[in-house]
Amino acid sequence: MMRRDPAGAATDKYDLIVVGGGIYGACLTLESARRGLRTLLLERDDFGGATSWNSLRIIHGGLRYLQRLDLRRYRESVAERRWFLRHFPDEVEPLSCLMPLYGRGLRRPSVLAAALALDDRLSSRRNDGVRADRRLGPGRVIDPDQAVELYPTIDPAGLRGAALWTDARMPRSPRVLMEILRWSAAAGARALNYFEATDLIVDDGRVVGITALDRDSGQCYEFETRRVANCAGPWSRELSERFDREVPELFRPTVAFNLLLDREPPADLALAVSPPDESRSYFVVPWQGRLMAGTCHAAQAIEPSDLTPDHPLVREFANDLGAATPKLGLESATVLRVLAGRLPAATGGGATPTSRPVIVEHGKRGGPRGLVSVSGVKYTTARALAERTLGVLFGKQLAATGDVARPEPAAWPALSDISQSEGRDSTLAARLGRLATDESVRRLEDLTLRRTDIGLDPERGAAATEWLRDIVETSTSREPGS
Ligand SMILES: Cc1cc2nc3c(=O)[nH]c(=O)nc-3n(C[C@H](O)[C@H](O)[C@H](O)COP(=O)(O)OP(=O)(O)OC[C@H]3O[C@@H](n4cnc5c(N)ncnc54)[C@H](O)[C@@H]3O)c2cc1C
C-alpha cells in the first residue's frame, strides 16, 4: 500500500532520496528498499506520467543491439526482459513480432535466420525462473505463405519470407510502474506524488537533505538524507544545474512519439514495417483492440505537447505508416492519441537517440558528495541502471538483504468492467475508491490514465469520466493531512 502521507514521511531520516517517479526513479526506489535502505521517492506530478507513460510498451530483448554487435547492451536487455517476465507475469507477456522480408538491404531471409539463431544461442538463459506461459521460444524465418497467413494485410508481392521472434509487452504499462512502487512500499520505501524537489541542502560539501514543495497543500518540507539521486529524466539536466552545475552530457533532448490508431489489429502480432526507401523502421503493435504504432523520432525541435493528431509531423508519420503497409490503410485511420515524450539524443546533435545511459557522480566533479544524476535510455533497462547507480552512491555493490517478496497485485477491475458499469455498481465504485486511496490518487487523470488505462483511448474513456471524478474526490478527502 502506498498512501500519500507527507507528514509521516517528514518524520523519518533517509539513506536515499530519489527525485523523479518515472520508471528510472521507481526502479531505483525498489532496488534501494530491497537492500534495507530507508528510501523516499519524490515525484512532482503523478508517478509515471511523463516519458514512461508514452513508451511503446515493449520490453526489448535487444535484438537491435545484437545486430550492431553491442553485446554488453544485448545481454543486459535479455536479462532485464527476463526480470520483468519473471516478476510481473500478470502484467508482462510474450509478444510475437513479425518482420516481412523483401530482400532489401540486410532484410534477407539468410541474414535474419543467422541473426535469430545467434539470438537463440546467446539468450539461452532468457527463460530462467520465468513462469511456463511467459517463456519465450526461439525465433525463426518462415516462408511467404505462412507470413501472409499470420498477418493477412502484409503485401505478398516480392515477399521472400518473414522473421518471426518473441519479445515482451506491457498491455497495461502504468500498472507495471505502480506494482514496482507497491513492492517498494512493502520493502519499507515511501513515495510522494505531487511533490517537487526544489533545493539540495549541503553541509561541508556533502548532501544532508532536500527541500520539497507539496504541490497540493503549498507547504514546504525538509527531508534529511545523506544521498540524493536525480532521476528526473528529461529534466535531469535542469535539476543538476539547480542542485550543483550544468552537465551537458546528461540529457540532450529530442522528441519521439507513438500513435494510438482507430484500427483493429489484423492479428495479435507486432509488425515491423519500413517505408519503401527503408530509411526508417517502425512497429505496429496491438493494444487492447486498437493499433499502436511507433516510434517516430521528430527531426525538428518541438514540444511533445504540440504534437496533436492533426500536427503535420503526425500526419507525415501516418503517411509513412500507410506507405509501409498499404493494406492496413493507416494513413487514413483516426489518430486517437499521440503519445509523445523526450529521449536523450546521441552526441553530435540530430534526432538520433543515444543508446548510452549516463550516471554523473557530482562529488567527483567538485560538486556535493552524495549527489548523483541519472539519465536512462530505455524502460527495459531501468532496473539495471538502478543497480549501477546504487553502486556509485554507496561505493560498492550492495546485496539485497532480507529481500521482501512482491506483494499480491492490486486487484484493479478490468477496463471493460469499469467502462460498462457507468457508476451504477456501488460495490465496484467502493472498490475503486479504496484502490485510489491506497495508491495515492490525487486527480482524475491519475485514476483514468496512470492507475488504469481507461482514459488512454479517449473514445472508450469518456463515458466513465464523470462517475470516476466522484470517486477521486471522495478518496482524496480521506487522505492523511487532507
Ligand atoms: C515515444 C517513446 C516510445 C518509447 N518506447 C519504449 C519502449 O517500447 N520500450 C522501452 O524500453 N523504452 C521505450 N522508450 C524509452 C522509455 O520510455 C524511457 O527511457 C523511460 O520512460 C525514461 O524514464 P525516466 O524515469 O528517466 O523519465 P520520466 O518517465 O520522464 O520520469 C522523470 C520524472 O521526473 C519528474 N521530475 C522532474 N523534475 C522533478 C522535480 N524537481 N521533483 C520531483 N520530480 C521531478 C517528472 O515529473 C517525471 O515524472 C520510449 C520513449 C518514448 C519517448
pLDDT in tens, 64-73: 899 889 999 9
pLDDT for 402 equals 67
Q: Whose CA is nearest to atom 38 of ligand 1?
A: 232
Computed over every residue of the chain, the mean pLDDT equals: 92
Q: Whose CA is nearest to atom 53 of ligand 1?
A: 341
Q: Is the pLDDT of residue 481 over 70?
A: no
Q: What is the pLDDT of residues 281-340, one digit of tens each?
A: 899 999 988 999 999 998 778 899 999 999 999 999 999 999 888 888 898 899 999 999
Place of cell 460498462: 420
What's the CA gap between 184 and 18, in Å, rounded?
Answer: 12
pLDDT for 233 equals 97
pLDDT for 475 equals 74
Tell how far the Cα of 305 is from the centroid of ligand 1, in angstroms. Answer: 15
Q: What is the pLDDT of residues 238-297, one digit of tens each?
A: 999 999 999 988 998 999 999 999 999 999 999 999 877 777 789 999 998 899 999 999
Q: Whose CA is nearest to atom 21 of ligand 1?
A: 52
C-beta separation of 419 from 454 below 8 A: yes
Tell how far the Cα of 379 is from the centroid of ligand 1, in angstroms. Answer: 8
Ligand 1 atom nearest 257 alpha carbon: 1
Sign of the torsion formed by the C-alpha atoms of 265, 266, 270 and 272: negative
Tell how far the Cα of 50 is from the centroid of ligand 1, in angstroms. Answer: 6
pLDDT for 476 equals 76
Ligand 1 atom nearest 58 alpha carbon: 8
Among 18, 44, 55, the mutation site with the greatest number of ligand 1 atoms within 8 A of its Cβ is: 55
Q: Is the pLDDT of residue 364 over 90?
A: yes
pTM of the model: 0.95
What residue ranges line ligand 1, CB within 6 angstroms?
19-25, 42-45, 49-52, 54-58, 60, 196-197, 231-235, 239, 256-258, 294-295, 339, 341, 343, 376-380
pLDDT for 468 equals 83
Phi first, then psi, for residue 351 (nearest 5°) are -100, 5
The mean pLDDT of 36-58, rounded to a whole number, is 97
pLDDT for 165 equals 97
The mean pLDDT of 456-462, rounded to a whole number, is 72
pLDDT band at 430 (very low <50, low <70, confident <90, very high): confident
pLDDT band at 349 (very low <50, low <70, confident <90, very high): low
Closest CA to 324 of 361, 355, 390, 278: 278
Among 192, 303, 379, the mutation site with the greatest number of ligand 1 atoms within 8 A of its Cβ is: 379
Q: What is the pLDDT of residues 167-199, one digit of tens each?
A: 999 999 999 999 999 999 999 999 999 999 999
pLDDT for 194 equals 97
Domains, the chain, in order of start with CATH, read: 6-52+174-251+353-394 (3.50.50.60), 94-169+253-344 (3.30.9.10), 415-477 (no CATH)
pLDDT for 478 equals 61
Q: Whose CA is nearest to atom 27 of ligand 1?
A: 233
Between 417 and 225, name the one with better pLDDT.
225
Q: Find the range with the poorest average confidence among 55-64, 101-110, 371-380, 382-391.
A: 101-110
